[in-house]
Structures are given as structure tokens and as C-alpha cells.
Structure 1
Amino acid sequence: MKAIVIYKSKTGFAKKYAEWIAEELSADIFDVSKVNIKMLEPYDVVIYGGSLYAVGINGIQWITKNLDKLENKKVIVFATGASPARQEVIEEIKNKNFTSDQQKKIQFFYFRGGFDYSKLKPFDKMLMTILKWRLKTKKELTPDENGMLAIYNKPTDFTCKKNIEEMIRYIDL
């Protein structure tokens, strides 16, 4: 099967996973800004990856608006985020980003990425600063919120190539 990996990455974690997946599958790889829907015609498998942004997958509209044009292809989406992979987190991401019909056509995977404040653009830095202030004023924090505060000022990378193994097995079926 011929595969293409498309990604949108703000701080490099989604790109790192996209590169690992492309390498493992001997697939073509492109930043989403360099792709148009016609380019996907020769591919059997279309993989899209993006980082999470308030539970939204960065750039996912590119896939959801073109899903009807990918009818005869295996469509896979992955998202990267700083939180550990827990079933309730994965369900929230799927439900926020895809309708129930889209979920039937898209296989979704979540990979733990990381956090690097220094790589954020000014607007994202401002939003993260506001989030940090909000968290510091809360009386009780969730484990994820405590984790975010702990890594806020130090770059943290949770990526692991082993995380893609389940996706690769799914594609090889």
C-alpha cells in the first residue's frame, strides 16, 4: 500500500512522529501547507497528524472538509499532546474533532508529545501565560494541570518512537 503522511506542527512534536511514521512505512511526507487534495489520488493510506490546541487537533479541518474525497482510502489521524494517553482524554479529542459519521471513517491515534514554551509564537505564549495564571488561582488542580505547571518553564519531550507501533500494525492489516 502506498502511504502519505501529512502534518501540521507548532513545536515539532507532531512533525517528529510524522517523520517516524513516514520512515517506518517508506511513505511520502509533507507539511499540510504544501499539499492539495489532488496530490492524494495515488495513495491508498492517508495519515494526518497535528498537535492539540485546547483539545482541537491543529489543522484537522483539512481532513474533515476533504473526507468525502478520501472515500476509498484508509484515513488515519493522530494527535500529539503533553497529557498521558488515557481513554477519557482520547474520547474527548475524538468527540471534539469528529462527528460520529467521521469517526466511522477515520482511525484515530493519540501520541504523547511534549511542551516547549520557547518554541511557541507570541499569541500562543500569551494564551499559555493566561492559562498558567488561571491554574495558579485554582484551589484544586487535576493531575494534568499539576503536570502542566511542572513543565511550564522547562522544555519537556515525551515522544517515543515505540508509540507508533500500534498505528503501523493497523496500517499493515
Structure 2
Amino acid sequence: MKTVVIYKSKTGFTKKYAEWIAEELSADIFNASKVNVNTLNKYDTIIYGGSLYAVGIIGVGLIKKNINKLKDKRLVVFATGASPLRDNVINEVINKNFTVDEQKYIKFFYLRGGFNYNKLSSFDKFLMTLLKLKIKNKKQEDLSADEKGMLAIYDKPVDFTDKKDIGKIITYVNS
């Protein structure tokens, strides 16, 4: 089986996972900006990785808009984010990004990435600053665990990536 890993990464965490997965599976690897559906059609297994952006998986439209041409392939999508793995969050990500029909063809995985304010675009820095101000204006007792965590890591880069986390994807692809 011929496998490809495609990724879109804003701050490098998704790219790191994509490289580990491609290495482990001896797969080809491309930045999403370098491929189209014709490239994808050459492969039996397509693994797409994108970071989460307000629960949306960046760049996943490449898979979604071509789902009818890719249905006969093994499709894997992984997303990276700074939050710990929680079922309710995973379900929200799946349901926001994929229709019920698309979910039949796509196997989804979540991998914990990290956060690095310094690697964000100017626009993303602006949005994160607004979010930080909104959170800081809340009463301490009203903050969610995610909001407290975001405030704790906002000013210093954190990297939660762990190569062993790709194991479930490797196992799935090799099954």
C-alpha cells in the first residue's frame, strides 16, 4: 500500500507529527499547499494533519471537497491542539469538521501539540490577545480548566508533542 502524509501547520507541531508518521510508515510527505486531488489519487492511504483553529481543522477542505474522489482510499485525519485529549472536545471537533456521511470514510485522531505565541501570524496574535483579555476579565472562580491553562502558557512556549502518541495512527494504518 502506498501512503502519503499531508499537513498544514501554523507553528510546527502538526508538521512534527506528520514527519514522525511519514518516517514510521515510510510514506511520502507534503505540505498541503503542494498537493491537489491528482496527487492524492496516486495513494492508497491518505493521512491529513492540521492544527485546530477555533475547533476547525485548518486545511481539511482539501479532503472534504474531494471526498467523493477519495472514498475508495483509506482516509485518516489528525488534528493537533494545545488542550488535553477529552472525549467531549474530540466529538465537537469531529462533528464541526465532518458531516455524518464524511465520518463514514474518515478515521479521526487528536494529537496534543503545543502553543507558541511568537510563531503566530500578526492576525492570530491579535485574536489571541483579545481572547486573553476576555479571559482575564472573568472572575477566577468562573474560569474553565482550558481558560486557566491558556493563561498559564500564553507567555511561554509549550510543546506537548510526544512521538509515542502517533502509535494509534500507525497501528490503524497497518491494520
Computed over aligned residues only, the root mean square deviation of the Cα atoms, in angstroms, reads 0.6
Moved over 3 A (4+): none
SS of equivalent to 1:101: helix
- Unmatched 5+ residue regions in structure 1? none
SS at match of 2:109: strand
Match of 1:102 in 2: 102
In structure 2, the residue matched to 1:8 is 8
Letter in 2 for 1:97: N
Mapping 1:61-80, distance limit 5 Å:
61-80=61-80
Matched ranges for 1:121-136 at <5 A: 121-136=121-136
Once the two structures are aligned, what percentage of the paired residues are identical? 65
Aligned twin of 1:19: 19
Match of 1:153 among 128, 136, 155: 155
Offset of 1:41 from its aligned partner?
Answer: 2.1
Correspondence for 1:166 among 158, 164, 168 = 168
State the AA in 2 paired with 1:81: G
Mapped to 2, the partners of 1:142 and 1:99 lie a distance apart of 28
Structure-2 separation of matches of 1:130 and 1:71: 40
Equivalent position of 2:144 in the other structure: 142
Return 5+ residue gaps in structure 2 as ranges: none
TM-score normalised by L of structure 1: 0.99
